[in-house]
């Protein structure tokens, strides 16, 4: 419906006028069988409506149509209220409960570990190694600029635009978990590291997703895709075992399919032998061979359009 309205507007801007009746007929013919009574009523009354008016009628009719399949919609909307002085909650003359004084910190505990040098007995601000590196300039200091403020504003705009969006689980799709993995090679100009990402879909919506910077420098896009696939495979093994315990997905015992768009990464994942080009990659990423050999998962090729 929205696509037809948009096409009609674009053609109208080009000087090509589409008869209103033709557009209405195309929309009515494309409706699913659940709108059969609506189409019959519309044709019997011979309504001459414009496309926007028909769109409003369809939205009203959709509410009354009984859904064949239950759909679960999940969202996260937080309302912020102004905090002010509360009125009428306390009696006049009532004494406020005394707040116990905060005990001063005498110093770090003997078993306290420093976050910088990992030694015990002192804090980071008292660490001699940290202070020496700070003096020599090895530790980066905070220096916020306009680019950081712009990034924060973009995040807030994104949250505002998506606060009313939902994850919809349901419909007539089969309960099958599929994973998708991808990588962006050499995205960080400072350390030349790549970005990994994966998402797992169950019944039409995402159930697990992540995006993080890789801890190993990849020499090619194939290596970055291989590392991303290995990170996704670890999440896939955990998810498969969790779903098997639930016992609600019929195909849980089958190998979980992870889609990747790089044939070189798929070949390296399915080949159990060690290659010279992958020797510099950390050993924990090579666990993907064991997962595939045990039948926990398998990789397939997909193409981005």
* Listed residue (205, 204, 206) closest to 172, CA to CA: 204
Report, as an integer, the average pLDDT of 17-23. 72
By the 10 Å C-beta count (0-12 exposed, 13-18 middle, 19+ buried), 171 is classed as middle
Q: How does 51-64 read in b/e, with b if 16+ C-beta sit within 10 Å?
A: beebeeebeebeee
Beta bridge partner(s), residue 298: 257
What is the reported pLDDT for 46? Answer: 67
What is the reported pLDDT for 127? Answer: 85
Q: Which residue has the higher pLDDT, 273 or 206?
A: 206
Task: Reply yes or no on whether the pLDDT at 200 is more than 60.
Answer: yes
* Listed residue (175, 149, 194) closest to 250, CA to CA: 175
What is the reported pLDDT for 82? Answer: 47
Report, as an integer, the average pLDDT of 198-211. 88
CA 199 to the chain's CA centroid? 7
Task: Reply yes or no on whether the pLDDT at 173 is more than 70.
Answer: no
Q: How does 15-26 read in b/e, with b if 16+ C-beta sit within 10 Å?
A: eeeeeeeebbee
% of the chain exceeding 90 in pLDDT: 12
Q: Which residue has the higher pLDDT, 151 or 138?
A: 151
**Domain residue ranges in the chain:** 2-64, 108-138, 173-301
Rounded mean pLDDT of the chain? Answer: 77
* Listed residue (298, 167, 173) closest to 240, CA to CA: 298
Which stretch of 116-125, 214-223, 255-264 has the lowest confidence by average pLDDT? 116-125
Instruction: Say how far apart CA 299 and CA 286 lie, in whole Å.
Output: 15
The pair of structure tokens assigned to 47 is: 């309504």
Instruction: Say how far apart CA 223 and CA 117 lie, in whole Å.
Output: 32
Task: Reply yes or no on whether the pLDDT at 107 is more than 90.
Answer: no
Q: Which residue has the higher pLDDT, 163 or 104?
A: 163
Sort strands 195-202 and 205-213 into parallel, antiparallel or unpaired.
Answer: antiparallel
Instruction: Say how far apart CA 66 and CA 36 lie, in whole Å.
Output: 13
Model confidence at 80, pLDDT cuts 50, 70, 90, reads very low
Model confidence at 23, pLDDT cuts 50, 70, 90, reads confident
Task: Reply yes or no on whether the pLDDT at 76 is more than 80.
Answer: no
Instruction: Say how far apart CA 46 and CA 44 lie, in whole Å.
Output: 5
Task: Reply yes or no on whether the pLDDT at 250 is more than 90.
Answer: no
Cα–Cα distances in angstroms (integers) from residue 86 to residues 78, 94, 122, 133, in the given order: 21, 14, 43, 50
Instruction: Say how far apart CA 152 and CA 155 lie, in whole Å.
Output: 5
Model confidence at 65, pLDDT cuts 50, 70, 90, reads confident
Whether CATH 3.30.1370.110 fits 173-301: no
User: Over the stretch 30-45, which tens digit does the pLDDT of each residue have?
Assistant: 787 877 888 888 877 7
User: Over the stretch 81-99, which tens digit does the pLDDT of each residue have?
Assistant: 444 455 555 455 556 666 6
What is the reported pLDDT for 31? Answer: 80
Instruction: Say how far apart CA 38 and CA 18 lie, in whole Å.
Output: 24
Report, as an integer, the average pLDDT of 236-255. 82
Model confidence at 141, pLDDT cuts 50, 70, 90, reads low
Instruction: Kindly give, in sequence order, each residue whose CB lies less than 8 Å from that of residue 178, ignoring residues fewer than 6 positions away.
Output: 200, 201, 256, 257, 258, 259
The pair of structure tokens assigned to 209 is: 């997703």
Q: Residue 189: what are its φ and ψ, rounded to 5°?
A: -70, -15
Instruction: Say how far apart CA 239 and CA 245 lie, in whole Å.
Output: 10
* Listed residue (180, 206, 210) closest to 195, CA to CA: 210
How long a stretch of residues is the chain? 305
Cα–Cα distances in angstroms (integers) from residue 154 to residues 148, 150, 162, 188, in the given order: 10, 6, 12, 20
Model confidence at 2, pLDDT cuts 50, 70, 90, reads low
End-to-end Cα, the chain, rounded Å: 23
């Amino acid at each position: 419906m929205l696509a037809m309205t948009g096409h009609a507007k674009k053609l109208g801007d080009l000087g090509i006028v589409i008869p209103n009746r033709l557009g209405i007929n195309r929309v009515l013919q494309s409706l699913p069988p659940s709108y059969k009574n609506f189409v019959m009523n519309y044709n019997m009354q011979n309504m001459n409506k414009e496309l926007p008016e028909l769109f409003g009628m369809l939205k009203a009719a959709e509410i009354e149509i009984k859904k064949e399949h239950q759909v679960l919609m999940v969202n996260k909307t937080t309302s912020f209220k102004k905090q002010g002085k509360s009125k009428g909650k306390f009696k006049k003359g009532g004494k406020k409960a005394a707040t116990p004084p905060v005990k001063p910190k005498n110093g770090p505990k003997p078993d306290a570990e420093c976050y910088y040098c990992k030694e015990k007995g002192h804090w980071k601000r008292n660490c001699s190694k940290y202070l020496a590196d700070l003096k020599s300039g090895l530790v980066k200091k905070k220096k916020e600029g306009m680019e950081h403020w712009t990034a924060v504003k973009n995040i807030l705009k994104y949250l505002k635009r998506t606060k009313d969006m939902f994850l919809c689980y349901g419909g007539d799709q089969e309960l099958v978990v599929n994973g998708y993995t991808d990588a962006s090679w050499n995205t960080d100009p400072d350390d030349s590291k790549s970005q990994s990402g994966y998402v797992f879909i169950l019944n039409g919506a995402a159930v697990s997703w992540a995006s993080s910077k890789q801890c190993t420098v990849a020499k090619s896009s194939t290596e970055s895709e291989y590392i991303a696939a290995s990170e996704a495979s670890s999440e896939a093994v955990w998810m498969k075992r969790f779903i098997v315990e639930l016992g609600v997905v019929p195909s849980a015992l089958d190998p979980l399919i992870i889609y990747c768009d790089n044939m070189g990464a798929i070949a390296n994942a399915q080949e159990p032998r060690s290659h010279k080009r992958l020797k510099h990659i950390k050993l924990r990423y090579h666990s993907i061979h064991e997962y595939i050999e045990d039948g926990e998962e398998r990789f397939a090729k997909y193409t981005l359009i």
